[in-house]
Amino acid sequence: MFLVQISLGIAIVSTGLFTGLVLTMLFIFQPLLDRLSATEYAELMQRFLKVARRSPLNIALMLISIFAPIPALFGFYQSSNWRAFGLASIGLTIFFVGMFWVSRFFNEPLYDQILGWTVQSPPPDWQAARQQWYVLNLVRGWASGSAFVLFLITLNL
């Protein structure tokens, strides 16, 4: 049972940190982005994405949050703790779909689009891209935060 607690604890820390990063983007970075002109937005986002898109921290937190709960799931399954198994499974699924899937299939194409803009002349629909980035971050923040809460609840079962 010690391995279960350790793996779940690691998942809690990683999802908590990931949630903090996404909430920082939503509530600190996004309001600043909303004040920028089209050219300022394009320039800042291109600089930001070149660094943040392939950040080792982001990649590590995502992979840890996906793989850390797996030993706990095996432990819950072997001990027939079905409530804990179910909550951890739901948390892992929500994180995988809401973070990994959304990032891979929605954020990444948006990042490619933004990185392809000419800074001096962003496309006329640049505000739609900014809004889409915000909505995707809301989804990712909800997913990561929900997984965090579910893992915390599961640790107490």
The string of pLDDT tens digits covering residues 76-119 is 999 999 999 999 999 999 999 999 999 999 999 999 999 999 99
Percentage of the chain beyond pLDDT 70 is: 100
Q: Is the pLDDT of residue 2 over 90?
A: no
Per the structure, the count of domains in the chain is 1
Full residue range of the structural domain in which residue 17 is found: 2-155
d(CA 57, CA 62): 8
Q: Is the pLDDT of residue 68 over 80?
A: yes
d(CA 6, CA 22): 24
Q: Compute how many other C-beta atoms are within 10 angstroms of the C-beta atom of residue 156.
A: 6
